Structure 1
Amino acid sequence: MSRKKPENLDFETARGELQDIVEKLEQGDISLEESLKVFERGVALFRNCQKLLSEAEQKVSILSEKSMDAEPEAFEPDHAD
């Protein structure tokens, strides 16, 4: 099974794979060559997670600014009599 490119993964999937990589590296029972491959994948996943978090932070910031500048609206309750 081929792995998806890190930039094609959603945050939760990338984070989960990154956690697996950290555990694998901490165990220390893989060769140096394999460790470097796994580490390289981990760096790519980490960068993707950072990018996704940054994008989410920007969206929240934009939405917060819009909310703060929005004009107040009168509350009109529904009358279901």
Structure 2
Amino acid sequence: MNWSNYIRQAHRWLSIVFTATVIANFVAMALGTPPAWVVYSPLPPLFLLLFSGLYMFVRPYISKWRDAELRQQTP
């Protein structure tokens, strides 16, 4: 497995963790005023999702740019 597959799999698991923390947040708010750690618990997986999602978004453009640059270098 290469890095792209690892990042894609990590992104999937992070989305599950993020969804679970958001659901726990809503449940805690329904029961009363939640503690601060429950309110802010979705943020770390959200930031990791941001970085892994941006990587997966930019990766095809980078590979096209590299391929075009390699074609220009070869006579």
TM tier, shorter chain? Answer: 0.5 to 0.7
Query: How has the CA–CA distance of structure 1 residues 64 and 31 changed in structure 2, closer, same or farther, with 3 Å as cutoff?
Result: same
Q: CA RMSD in A?
A: 2.3
User: Residue 55 of structure 1 corresponds to which residue in structure 2?
Assistant: 55
TM-score norm. by structure 2 comes to 0.61
TM-score norm. by structure 1 comes to 0.58
Query: How has the CA–CA distance of structure 1 residues 38 and 64 changed in structure 2, closer, same or farther, with 3 Å as cutoff?
Result: farther
Residue 54 of structure 2 aligns to which amino acid in structure 1?
Answer: S
Provide the rounded CA distance (Å) in 1 between the counterparts of 2:53 and 2:11: 8
Residue 39 of structure 1 aligns to which amino acid in structure 2?
Answer: V
Residue 47 of structure 1 aligns to which amino acid in structure 2?
Answer: F
Provide the rounded CA distance (Å) in 2 between the counterparts of 1:18 and 1:47: 10
Number of equivalenced pairs: 60
Provide the rounded CA distance (Å) in 1 between the counterparts of 2:61 and 2:54: 10
- Percentage identity across aligned positions? 5
Residue 38 of structure 2 aligns to which amino acid in structure 1?
Answer: V
Offset, 1:32: 2.1
Greater gyration radius? 1
Query: How has the CA–CA distance of structure 1 residues 25 and 41 changed in structure 2, closer, same or farther, with 3 Å as cutoff?
Result: closer
Offset, 1:18: 0.7
User: Residue 45 of structure 2 corresponds to which residue in structure 1?
Assistant: 45
Q: Select the structure that is richer in helix.
A: 2
Structure 1 segments unaligned to the other structure (5+ residues)? 1-8, 72-81
Runs of 4+ with deviation above 4 angstroms: none
Offset, 1:30: 6.0
